[in-house]
């Protein structure tokens, strides 16, 4: 099979039929063999009934329905596991992503040997204050921290090599950082394509202002996990040891200074009356706690069944 199109959705009953009709027209015109996997993320409207009716009419449509709303990452993960096509393309169900981009995305994966091609909505129709400006700041930060040079990290329209989607795990709110997860998994050939962004025709956006807070925290999480997942002691142990020894040096200096003052008859306050003593003490305590946290994390990591799980792409 050429293409698997994975579409996560939540309360998109009005747009689904139009999207499927559009996809079928594009796929038919280009002679692709294709499956469409729609993941209903606990919709409260009749989205699932619409999917069921479409599946009865078209054998290429498959549906997965969650009991409740789990989020886009969970929907993508299940869609990735079910996908059978050589190229997996994801898009949102709100008609803001154009299926006309499918042939070029497929070509870039198959002919230019990209592992992942991410859409770049260069011209957007969103509110500049609440979406465009924060999105630019977020993407600039993600590029700087991760080294993945994409302008639109969170664009829902992406194409993947099948081997990639089977090699990664998307959970929590990590769908925003799939290119970073892919790079972490060893898929470095990541490209970008300018795609059309269309104004929403039905319903309203499902993501509020909380995505800015969660997005920032998730970025820190994914970067920490990518660097220290198998060796947490390298982070906690380094920071903890540094804090402990700085606190110890400060304490020793305060003690030596006190002895020097006493030996020379210079008036000096008690060590315990000096605020720097308590700062040094807190640094030593925090350093010890961080070191122990790293030690415990290392024990947990060593006990994980995936401690020796590695991605192997070739053997002879």
Predicted pLDDT of residue 218: 73
Q: What is the CATH number of the domain that holds 147?
A: 3.90.550.10
pTM of the model: 0.75
C-beta neighbour count of 213 within 10 angstroms = 9
Q: What is the pLDDT of residues 108-162, one digit of tens each?
A: 999 999 999 999 988 776 655 556 677 777 788 788 878 888 988 888 999 999 9
Domain that holds residue 276: 233-303
Same domain, 224 and 237: no
Domain annotation covers residue 309: no
Q: How far apart are CA 193 and CA 96, in angstroms?
A: 16
Question: Helix 16-30 to helix 102-110 angle, to the nearest 10 degrees?
Answer: 50
Token pair belonging to 86: 């050589």
DSSP string, 90-158: E--SSS-B-GGGHHHHHHHHHTS--SEEEEE--S--S-IIIIIHHHHHHHHHHHHHH----S-TT-S-E
**pLDDT(310) > 70:** no
Please count the structural domains in the chain.
Answer: 2
Domain annotation covers residue 7: yes
Domain annotation covers residue 316: no
Q: What is the pLDDT of residues 56-91, one digit of tens each?
A: 999 999 999 999 999 899 999 999 999 999 999 999
Q: How far apart are CA 10 and CA 40, in angstroms?
A: 6
Same domain, 241 and 264: yes
**pLDDT(215) > 90:** no
> Where does a domain end: 228, 260, 288?
228
Same domain, 292 and 192: no
Q: Are 131 and 71 in contact (CB under 8 A)?
A: no
Domain annotation covers residue 161: yes
Q: What is the pLDDT of residues 232-251, one digit of tens each?
A: 888 888 999 999 999 999 99
Same domain, 222 and 242: no
Domain annotation covers residue 81: yes
Domain annotation covers residue 45: yes
Segment 5-11 shows an average pLDDT of 95
More confident residue, 208 or 74: 74
Same domain, 106 and 200: yes
Same domain, 214 and 287: no
């Amino acid at each position: 099979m050429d293409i698997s199109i994975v579409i996560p959705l939540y309360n998109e009953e009005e747009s689904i039929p139009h999207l499927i009709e559009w996809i079928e027209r594009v796929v038919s015109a280009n002679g692709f063999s294709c499956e469409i996997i729609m993941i209903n993320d606990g919709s409260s409207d009749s989205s699932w009934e619409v999917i069921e009716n479409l599946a009865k009419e078209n054998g290429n449509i498959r549906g997965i329905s969650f009991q409740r709303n789990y989020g886009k990452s969970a929907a993508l993960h299940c869609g990735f596991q079910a996908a059978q096509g050589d190229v997996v393309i994801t898009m949102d169900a709100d008609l803001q992503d154009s299926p006309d981009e499918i042939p070029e995305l497929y070509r870039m994966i198959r002919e230019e040997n990209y592992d992942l091609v991410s859409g770049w909505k260069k011209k957007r129709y969103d509110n500049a204050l609440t979406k465009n400006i924060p999105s630019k700041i977020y993407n600039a930060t993600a590029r700087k921290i991760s080294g993945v040079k994409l302008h639109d990290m969170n664009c829902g329209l992406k194409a993947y090599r099948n081997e990639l989607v089977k090699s990664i795990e998307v959970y929590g709110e990590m769908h925003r950082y799939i290119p970073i997860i892919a790079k972490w998994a060893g898929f470095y050939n990541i490209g970008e394509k300018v795609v059309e962004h269309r104004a929403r025709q039905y319903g309203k956006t499902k993501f509020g202002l909380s995505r800015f807070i969660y997005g920032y925290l998730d970025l820190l999480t994914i970067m920490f996990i990518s660097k220290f997942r198998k060796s947490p002691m390298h982070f906690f142990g380094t920071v903890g040891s540094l804090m402990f020894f700085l606190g110890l040096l400060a304490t020793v200096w305060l003690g030596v200074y006190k002895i020097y003052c006493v030996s020379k008859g210079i008036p000096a306050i008690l060590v315990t009356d000096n605020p720097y003593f308590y700062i040094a003490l807190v640094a030593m305590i925090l350093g010890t706690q961080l070191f122990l946290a790293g030690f415990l994390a290392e024990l947990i990591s060593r006990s994980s069944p995936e401690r020796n799980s590695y991605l192997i792409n070739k053997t002879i």
